């Protein structure tokens, strides 16, 4: 059996509750009111006491088994010194306790009223599980190293913490991803987000934008990206956090959101948005640095279409998702993951559509997208703002421009061109709306699709898609789903393993 598989099974087994019996817990959540403030679960009961903005808060909840990740130290069971005192337990109504206020404590949530037996169990249990896992991890790691020694040498990460051994297969991000796809999909509960955010150590600044700065941070040995908004941009911060927490939004090709937090340090408010970290940076940076193979091009294009298709798609039902249009799609707002697929980011300008009431929750801030990527109807202000599909069509136009940027860097047959922004040859470097409108609407010009692309099937298909993304009439453009299907078919035809 593959060592990764063994490790995965071990992780599952160490989830502490192999029994499927329903567990009854004390529950303070509003939705438990009609059940007499109790809930039933296959996981754990949790009690949490925290001080948030000077207010003492007591929370009692059920946590489902699938959400008890990472094993041994689930997010939901974390205590944070001085912030939050949390206790997970596994017997009926065991969370009907009043935890002390979070003060600096020794040991994992050791309550005063705990006998020596419980204390020993609480300390020895996890330590034992951890030791076994670390030893096994070490063994499998070495085995793995021996087997894949050459190929892996470059990838070995700093093994200074045992977390990294476990994370070799499952990263922090994967765990959060599992957590939210198996659950309601709307992300971590707020009090956990706050705890995660406040225990991140910022490492280095990796970007600056109109909203503030982006940092690389460390959380429990893993990298995370932290977008820090200036206090003025509170609305943008709130809006982006709100969009990212849309139910069922999570998707492998949309940037994984981890937490939002507003820290008030007395003089100003720090607004944080924590997400997955991708060391390759944006697609823009990536294309500037590297050319891509035909396979690489299809992978980038297909994954971007998948992400956008998921964003656009409306899922009906109680666990449904509204349709979302991005409104600022461009290569700088798409990240490249380690496996060379895309993750769509920067959802601060997005709009959501509720089909039942047919309403669009237009972003309260009046910022519009990036001029260079604006669809003709946006430049002309002829877009029908009441019709949600028109925003989707504008996204597709921008996606076509992104495809052009990618395809130019494709080194089919040893030829590829320098990286350029779309319309680089037609407008100045920081074009005004008027300059863009002249080129895109009046002259009806589009980026050049070279003739030699016709001699390569993949480039020919990409060129065709671009043309069909760039129609002046938004409604005539392709849909993200159609593009995704065309590219999936292309990857099959090109015999790619994607």
Ligand X SMILES: *[C@@H]1O[C@H](CO)[C@@H](O)[C@H](O)[C@H]1NC(C)=O
Distance CA 293, CA 299 (A): 10
The answer to whether 328 is a known catalytic residue is yes
Total residues contacting ligand X by CB under 6 A comes to 6
- Closest CB 116 distance from ligand X, rounded Å: 23
Q: Which residue has the tokens 């593009």?
A: 483
- Closest CB 51 distance from ligand X, rounded Å: 18
Torsional sign, CA 166, 172, 173, 177: positive
Q: Are 53 and 32 in contact (CB under 8 A)?
A: no
* Binder of ligand X out of 98, 234, 417, 493 (CB under 6 A): 98
The window from 91-99, 258-266, 380-388, 471-479 that contacts ligand X (CB under 6 A) reads: 91-99
Catalytic residue among 328, 358, 395, 495: 328
SS3 at position 475: helix
The window from 93-101, 143-151, 408-416, 434-442 that contacts ligand X (CB under 6 A) reads: 93-101
* Binder of ligand X out of 38, 438, 460, 485 (CB under 6 A): 38
Q: What is the DSSP letter of 74?
A: -
Burial letters 31-53, b for 16+ CB under 10 A, else e = ebeeeeebbebbbbbbbbbbeee
Q: Which residue has the tokens 């020794």?
A: 106
Is the Cβ of residue 113 or residue 495 nearer to ligand X in the bound state?
113
Is the Cβ of residue 39 or residue 196 nearer to ligand X in the bound state?
39
* Binder of ligand X out of 51, 64, 93, 488 (CB under 6 A): 93
Q: Are 351 and 361 in contact (CB under 8 A)?
A: yes
SS3 at position 471: coil
* Binder of ligand X out of 91, 96, 161, 455 (CB under 6 A): 96
Is the Cβ of residue 93 or residue 290 nearer to ligand X in the bound state?
93
| Tokens, residue 344 | 């769509």
Peptide bond between residue 70 and the one before it cis (omega within 30 degrees of 0): yes
Would you say 227 is a known binding-site residue? yes
Is the Cβ of residue 39 or residue 254 nearer to ligand X in the bound state?
39
Closest CA to 305 of 327, 280, 334: 334
| Tokens, residue 126 | 């996890």
The window from 92-100, 132-140, 171-179, 265-273 that contacts ligand X (CB under 6 A) reads: 92-100
Give the DSSP H or E segment for 208. strand 201-208
- Closest CB 36 distance from ligand X, rounded Å: 6
Is the Cβ of residue 57 or residue 96 nearer to ligand X in the bound state?
96
How many other C-beta atoms are found inside a 10 Å radius of the C-beta of residue 222? 19
Residues 6+ apart with CB under 8 A from 144: 3, 152, 168
From residue 51 to residue 90, the character string flagging contacts with ligand X as x (rule: CB under 6 A) and all else as - is ----------------------------------------
Beta bridge partners of 284: none
26: contact with ligand X by CB under 6 A: yes
Is the Cβ of residue 38 or residue 482 nearer to ligand X in the bound state?
38
In the annotated binding site for ATP, the residues are 227
In the annotated binding site, the residues are 227
Active site residues per annotation: 328
Report the interface residues with ligand X, using CB under 6 A.
Answer: 26, 37-38, 93, 96, 98
């Amino acid at each position: 059996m593959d060592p990764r598989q063994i490790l995965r099974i071990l992780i599952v087994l160490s989830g502490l509750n192999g029994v499927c019996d329903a567990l009854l817990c004390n529950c303070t959540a509003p939705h438990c009111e009609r059940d007499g403030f109790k809930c039933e679960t296959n996981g754990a009961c949790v009690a949490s006491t925290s001080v948030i903005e000077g207010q003492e808060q007591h929370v009692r909840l059920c946590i489902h088994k699938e959400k008890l990740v990472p094993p041994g130290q689930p997010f939901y069971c974390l205590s944070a010194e001085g912030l939050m005192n949390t206790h997970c337990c596994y017997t009926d109504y065991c969370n009907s306790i009043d935890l002390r206020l979070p003060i600096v404590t020794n040991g994992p949530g050791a309550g005063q009223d705990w006998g020596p037996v419980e204390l020993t169990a609480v300390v020895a249990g996890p330590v034992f599980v951890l030791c076994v896992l670390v030893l096994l991890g070490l063994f499998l790691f070495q085995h793995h190293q021996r087997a894949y020694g050459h190929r892996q040498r470059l990838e070995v990460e700093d093994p200074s913490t045992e977390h990294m051994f476990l994370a070799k297969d499952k990263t922090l991000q994967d765990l959060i991803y599992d957590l939210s796809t198996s659950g309601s999909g709307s992300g971590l509960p707020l009090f956990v987000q706050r705890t995660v955010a406040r225990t991140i150590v910022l490492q280095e600044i990796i970007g600056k934008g109109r909203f503030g700065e982006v940092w690389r941070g460390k959380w429990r040995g893993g990298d995370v990206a932290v977008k820090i908004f200036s206090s003025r941009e509170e609305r943008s911060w709130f809006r982006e956090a709100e969009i990212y927490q849309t139910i069922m939004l999570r998707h492998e090709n949309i940037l994984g959101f981890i937490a939002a937090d507003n820290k008030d340090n007395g003089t100003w408010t720090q607004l944080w948005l924590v997400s997955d970290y991708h060391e390759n940076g944006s697609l823009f940076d990536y294309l500037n640095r590297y050319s891509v193979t035909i396979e690489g091009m299809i992978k980038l294009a297909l994954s971007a279409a998948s992400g956008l298709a998921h964003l656009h798609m409306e899922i009906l039902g109680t666990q449904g998702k509204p349709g979302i249009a991005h409104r600022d799609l461009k290569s700088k707002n798409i990240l490249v993951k380690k496996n060379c697929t895309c993750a769509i980011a920067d959802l601060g300008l997005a709009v959501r559509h509720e089909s039942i009431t047919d309403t669009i929750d237009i972003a309260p801030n009046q910022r519009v997208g990036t001029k260079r990527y604006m669809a003709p109807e946006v430049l002309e202000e002829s877009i029908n703002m009441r019709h949600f599909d028109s925003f989707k069509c504008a996204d597709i136009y921008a996606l076509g421009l992104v495809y052009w940027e990618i395809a130019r860097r494709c080194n089919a047959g040893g030829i590829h061109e320098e990286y350029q922004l779309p319309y680089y040859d037609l407008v100045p470097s920081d074009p005004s709306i008027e300059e863009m409108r002249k080129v895109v609407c009046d002259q009806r010009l589009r980026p050049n699709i070279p003739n030699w692309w016709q001699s390569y099937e993949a480039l020919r298909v990409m060129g065709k898609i671009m043309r069909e993304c760039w129609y002046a009439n938004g409604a005539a453009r392709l849909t993200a789903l159609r593009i995704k299907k065309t590219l999936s078919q292309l990857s099959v035809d090109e015999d790619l393993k994607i």
